[in-house]
Amino acid sequence: MPWSEAAAGALAVAAVAWAGARWAIVHAHARGLLDLPGDRRSHAVPTPRGGGIGIALALVGTLVVLGLRAPDPLPWGLLAAGLALVALAGGWDDHRPLPAWPRLLAHAAAALLLALALHRLGGGLPLAALAAGMALGLVNAWNFMDGIDGLAASQALLCGLALALLAPATAGAAGIALAAACAGFLPWNLPRARVFLGDVGSGSLGYAVALLLGLAALALPPAEWPWLLLPPLAMLADSGLTLADRIRRGERWWQPHVQHAYQCWSRRRGHHVVTLAYAGWTALACAVMLYAAPRLPAQAAWQVPTAAALLAGGLWGWLRRGSGEGRTA
């Protein structure tokens, strides 16, 4: 794809994401779709939700266009359908609470569509199964981690850029689109959030990152797949460890809370410091992946991500202990 065409496509995607967020603000005020401050939230003023609808539309449109240009459009249609399904479930929940089981079924169906698409593109059953599991995990991880200004969108932007550089041309275009969509949304979410992603946006971002991880894995031998854990590691570690700790303590883990490491830290240092710090971690993790994956021996593909995961776990515990979270009575 020529650079001029890629730039024009990225600008169009960013414009759709920007306009979608602007529309969501008006729509949310008209329909009373506001997230109110409370003990289980990290913001101080009523804020519209659902601003990620433009991101979802832009990414679904990108996948449709890529499919029309591909020799086999079916896998891209499956990916677009999966992302649309996650976005629809999230949009419903943004307007009125959607029970957990229908939401989980929608996410599971979207994960299955991702697995089928990757299998059609030449991935084996192990890759298809791993990608389906990653989709379920990342959709929920991005939802859990969308609690302070700029965090979820900036993390997805960095993942999109890194995986675009690692993946082949067509998959790379999807990564650039993800980064562009996040860039279009972020002016509404930084320096102070005028609109939140909502479930329509956070779920779409998590699914898009899982989709890109699967496409990138198609270009790598299985021995190098662990490198792909580095870009989403901050989101996976904070969401996964916090969830496990709440289950361990017998809490109602499915209910909203402010116990994630990023939430604990933001109460002491503010949203922007935490968002920037997480971005710094992920940028470094992406740089390590891009530099080390083609250069280091095969065993490093397990050693480096494992060391990074252990470090992330230690930082998670330290950040939560600093605010008193995680202590047992």
* Distance from C-alpha of 80 to C-alpha of 98, rounded to nearest angstrom: 22
Q: Tell me the domain boundaries of the chain.
A: 3-321
Question: In this structure, what is the dihedral angle of CA atoms 255, 259, 260, 261, given to the nearest 10 degrees?
Answer: 180
Relative orientation angle of helices 233-248 and 261-269, to the nearest 10 degrees: 100
Helix (H, G, I), strand (E, B) or coil at 35: strand
* pLDDT for position 327: 44
- Listed in sequence order, the DSSP H helices in the chain are 3-31, 53-69, 74-95, 100-120, 125-145, 151-166, 169-185, 198-218, 233-248, 261-269, 271-292, 300-321
* pLDDT for position 2: 61
* pLDDT for position 328: 36
* pTM, rounded to two decimals: 0.94
* pLDDT for position 7: 83
* Distance from C-alpha of 178 to C-alpha of 215, rounded to nearest angstrom: 14
* pLDDT for position 36: 81
One pLDDT digit (tens) per residue for the chain, 329 residues:
566 777 889 999 999 999 999 999 999 999 999 988 766 666 668 899 999 999 999 999 999 999 999 999 999 999 999 999 999 999 999 999 999 899 999 999 999 999 999 999 999 999 999 999 999 999 999 999 998 999 999 999 999 999 999 987 778 999 999 999 999 999 999 888 999 999 999 999 999 999 999 999 998 999 999 999 999 999 999 999 999 999 999 988 777 788 999 999 998 888 999 999 999 999 999 999 999 988 899 899 999 999 999 999 999 999 988 655 544 32
* pLDDT for position 252: 83
Asked if 316 and 235 count as a contact pair (C-beta separation under 8 A), the reply is no
* pLDDT for position 293: 86
